[in-house]
Amino acid sequence: MRGNAPDNKLLEELRKVHNFFLRSPFRGALKVNNELLEMYAKCAAMPHARRTFDNRPERNMDSWHIMIDGYSVNGLGDEALRLFKLMKECMAPTSHTFVLVLNACASPRLSQPLLLTMQDPEFSLVAMTIQCVCMISKVIKPKLARPKRIVGAIGDGSIQV
């Protein structure tokens, strides 16, 4: 699903479901709206998910996690990190949040190599650990795309991290 264009037929069906819920008594139900966010993310329709997210007056931790994960899974690491920064303004991240942010750091199109958004003193150890893992991921991931070369390079000691 990473970076793929939305499946137009599936997206059209999802928009019909969304429109139905907007007219139903469940339109304000947080769980239903979170399910819509998740379905948009699975359809690689992050602009639709973001519009739905932004138009919700109520959000919970699941709402934020679904959006951060959706951006990450769809190869939009920068957007995931921007949303994480917004999330920190209204609620405290959990350990699950940090796992999702770590996944966003491994995005191939991430423009910032370090996770600078987590430099708050209360997250310093977590931030340092995540930054190290992200940097290792950025170095190792491209090499893993060439498995025969990396196996040979490991054998002769030419891989340096």
φ, ψ (nearest 5 deg) of residue 110: -70, 125
Query: Percentage of residues in the chain with pLDDT exceeding 90?
Result: 32
pLDDT band at 158 (very low <50, low <70, confident <90, very high): very low
DSSP states of the chain: -TTPPP-HHHHHHHHHHHHHHHHSTTTT-HHHHHHHHHHHHHTT-HHHHHHHHHT-S---HHHHHHHHHHHHHTT-HHHHHHHHHHHHHHS---HHHHHHHHHHHT-TT-S-SS-GGG-SGGGHHHHHHHHHHHHHHHHHHHHHTSHHHHHHHHHHT----
pLDDT band at 90 (very low <50, low <70, confident <90, very high): very high
Is the pLDDT confidence value at 54 over 60?
yes
Query: Percentage of residues in the chain with pLDDT exceeding 70?
Result: 63
User: What is the reported pLDDT for 128?
Assistant: 58
The answer to whether 153 and 159 are in contact (CB under 8 A) is: yes
What are the pLDDT digits (tens) for 6-48? 678 888 888 888 888 888 887 788 998 999 999 999 999 999 9
User: What is the reported pLDDT for 159?
Assistant: 41
In the numeric block, which tokens belong to residue 70? Answer: 């959706």
> CA–CA separation, 132 vs 15, rounded Å?
40
Q: Kindly list the domain boundaries of the chain, sorted by start residue.
A: 8-114
Mean pLDDT along residues 71-81: 91
